[in-house]
Chains A and B, each alone.
Chain A
């Protein structure tokens, strides 16, 4: 086959693959960049490793398609009989190792960032129950239950006849939101009262399991006030899909005002969930938080 034709085939295959890659990016959703330092770092790592995969993929699949087009029997290709190439084999062992080391370095740095909770200004305890979240502002005497809001709850019944599209933030709205201040390093202490749950708000950049008998740590610091939504990420029984998380980030001053309001008459808060939980751990939490 003429040299020129081979070049044409290679270019055509490359063009095809790049078109496919472009198409995949064009039609698809991506990970949110989020609103925290960590979420942006995680996003960057995600994009770097994704592009590494894309480049390797284009090279490997490119070689494969070129071979499929050129080295076919129907074109009269004769099979070579080589079975080795020390150079190539060393190259495709060593180059990936270098790429991986290069990738491991920033990943390590970001992981250390995530696991360093020191310097937090506020503690919030998150307890997962089947199928709601309990939030406690440690030392503030404020705590409440947060569960799926009633509009979603009505629509999610089998054959409810309510169109989910007609419900605002279907399955992603709660009765009591977790309100936190902006520009504040907050430490979360996560645990659970019955089975394992996992607390996840994509915009904050991480999820962490809430495990009975164990207290996990995580932290966040959000600069942009706003409402950020997430869901329980660990299968926790029949209503696992129905225990969303809504975080409302307020400017510091507004948050302080909100906190003061909460410290007022506790009866305003929806604590009806405790009785249902029917679990001694749940009752304990309820007790301590109201005594506070």
Chain B
């Protein structure tokens, strides 16, 4: 089986460290190197996507058009979303998985190291291609990240590059997902049974299945766009007998699981961090696993809640409303379990814990607005307004991205061997958390007051909230430069980290020295139940 092959292969180069120079990074098959590459790439894309957000917020700072033309504004909203979703959030989670999954399950590396190298190195090419469309004569895509036809079919010839880039990202994600599944299912150390795995590993296992299930669907959808646009097919063209609404069904069959692809690994990170800093085992470990699995299952049958206004039959609207409401139950279970983990713990509030606590509250606020959006008659008002924009930024920025940032602070000492500056970390936390709420909370009001999303200019009654939101946006953007500085500073030096790093940390990754040696667990570790992060093994 593949795992023996992988282990075998790895023993060949077990006795030398990393190669020198640039080629180390180009040819590396080491999960830690590749994890680092993914994380740095994600950070870069986070800055690029963030820069686009700054352009958007600058234009929306006051009514009237001051800085950009509407067409370019639409390119910015479209590209911002594509870059953040496919370039920042997803690669960051794959990076975390690369670094941590092998160490958490006591494996020497990923199961398929060469494929691992390839799945990373596709990404820079995909994004160079995607971003280059902004400089093409016909401009970048401007029809929204959802690429709805017929509008998206009005994109110029650059559309072909966009679609090809999406195909490449999809291939990269699928390869990454296969690798993670193969690693988790085949490479666990003896004694690391499935129900002993840390939750981060569990959530990633489930996420990987979601990825394999839906990325090909996206690929199919965009391929049909490609042939509609360039080869005169009529999948989505009403004049030729096609159906524009069909695209939306296919897209959201991918799109809704996709939003869970972006949050489940964050659930995992938070489920590692809270027990550590509460010094208490995770509450309801198996309930957490089952809740994650049911969320993943339900995510396949709620897609049309993104399209309540397309004029579905009543029965369809009711079904998708009920199914969407049901998702709130397992999501609630997760939140209750996190709070119960804190309850009667012995908490300390280092930066990773602060971000985790902010995650619990702010993600839940996003969940609340999600529940509101599920109520179809009310969604007839909310849909396609800033209320939706507020919803998904609460779950994605203060959810997915806060989860990533929490994970980075949590594991950075393990990666670099140095402690980050706790003082700067706290400044970064408070600055980010306050500004992100100034940025996104008023957007709820904007949506309720009637401001549609994806508009470059607006009626004057929306001016105050927009200005507040923009100020929050600039502040939040600036705060992330501090994150870059902190990471850079920690990588270069600082107080030496112990193997354990955090007093309450449990799990295999804390049994290896900091920084983690280039090769870890070449001999499988012995699993000691009392060293696991949850107290559930007996059950």
Contact = CB atoms under 8 A, between A and B. Distances in A.
Interface of A: 24, 27-32, 38-39, 41-42, 45-46, 49-50, 53, 56-57, 60-61, 63-64, 67-68, 71-74, 77-85, 88-89, 92-93, 96-97, 100, 103-104, 107-108, 110-112, 114-115, 155-160, 162-165, 169-172, 190, 194-196, 198, 200, 202, 205-209, 211-214, 216-217, 230-242
B227 interface: no
A106 to B, nearest CB: 9
Most buried by B among A72, A85, A209, A239: A209
B386 to A, nearest CB: 11
A115 B376 CA distance: 11
Interface in B355-388: 357, 360-361, 364-365, 368-369, 371-372, 375-378, 380-381, 383-385
Given A49-B375, A79-B346, A104-B322, 20 more contacts: A28-B442, A31-B378, A32-B450, A42-B378, A42-B380, A60-B364, A64-B342, A71-B342, A72-B348, A74-B348, A93-B329, A107-B378, A158-B69, A164-B64, A206-B377, A211-B238, A231-B455, A237-B74, A237-B151, A240-B70
Nearest to B336: A92
Given A156-B64, A237-B151, A111 B321 contact: yes
Given A238-B71, A238-B74, A79 B459 contact: no
Contacts of A198: 309, 383-384
B452 A231 contact: yes
Interface string B457-471: 111100101000000
A196 B151 contact: yes
B311 A211 contact: yes
A212 B238 contact: yes
B5 interface: no
B450 A211 contact: no
B contact face: mostly helix, strand, loop, or mixed: helix
Contacts of B280: 79-81
B213 to A, nearest CB: 26
Nearest to A208: B309
A50 B372 contact: yes
Interface stretch (B140-148, B171-179, B507-515): B140-148
B360 to A, nearest CB: 7
20 contacts: A28-B445, A42-B378, A50-B372, A71-B344, A72-B346, A74-B348, A107-B376, A107-B378, A111-B318, A157-B65, A158-B68, A158-B69, A169-B459, A206-B309, A214-B245, A230-B450, A232-B452, A235-B151, A237-B74, A242-B457
Contact of B345 (A32, A67, A208, A242): A67
Interface string B184-208: 0000000000000000000000000
B450 A73 contact: no
A contact face: mostly helix, strand, loop, or mixed: mixed
A240 B454 contact: yes
Given A79-B279, A79-B345, A238-B74, A114 B377 contact: yes
B534 interface: yes
Nearest to B535: A83
A158 B380 contact: no
Nearest to A112: B314
B384 A81 contact: no
B238 to A, nearest CB: 2
A165 B357 CA distance: 42
Contacts of A159: 65-66
A172 B451 CA distance: 11
B329 A97 contact: yes
B151 A207 contact: no
Contact of A72 (B347, B365, B444): B347
A192 B449 CA distance: 26
B64 A155 contact: yes
B150 A77 contact: no
Interface stretch (B36-44, B282-290, B411-419, B472-480): B282-290
Nearest to B287: A89
Contacts of B144: 235
Nearest to B372: A49
Given A46-B378, A83-B285, A170 B460 contact: yes
Contacts of A111: 314, 317-318, 321, 376-377
Contacts of B285: 83
B328 interface: yes
Query: Closest 7 A-B residue pairs measured CB to CB?
Result: A213-B238, A241-B455, A216-B311, A206-B380, A29-B449, A53-B368, A83-B535
Contacts of B534: 83
Contact of B340 (A73, A88, A155, A206): A88
B384 A207 contact: yes
A165 B345 contact: no
Contact of B372 (A53, A85, A97, A158): A53
Given A196-B150, A205-B381, A217-B311, A77 B345 contact: yes
B102 to A, nearest CB: 26
Nearest to A114: B377
Contacts of A230: 450
Contact of A207 (B143, B148, B372, B380): B380
Contact of B459 (A67, A103, A170): A170
Contacts of A71: 278, 342-347
A29 B321 contact: no
Contacts of B328: 96, 100
Nearest to A42: B377
Contacts of B284: 83-84, 89
B65 A156 contact: yes
Contacts of A78: 346
A38 B377 contact: yes
Interface string B313-333: 010011001100110110011
A207 B383 contact: yes
A172 B462 CA distance: 12
A115 B459 contact: no
A195 B245 CA distance: 11
B281 interface: yes
A172 B459 contact: yes
Contact of B339 (A24, A31, A60, A232): A60
A240 to B, nearest CB: 6
B151 A195 contact: yes
B4 interface: no
A264 to B, nearest CB: 33
Interface string B86-110: 0000000000000000000000000
Contacts of A46: 372, 375, 378, 381
Contacts of A206: 309, 377, 380-381
Contacts of A28: 442, 444-445, 448
B325 A104 contact: yes
Contacts of A112: 314
Contacts of A214: 238, 243-245, 311
B154 interface: yes
Interface string B205-248: 00000000000000000000000000000000011001111000
Contacts of A88: 336, 340
Contacts of B336: 60, 88-89, 92
Given A29-B448, A45-B375, A103-B375, A212 B150 contact: yes
A42 B460 contact: no
B257 interface: no
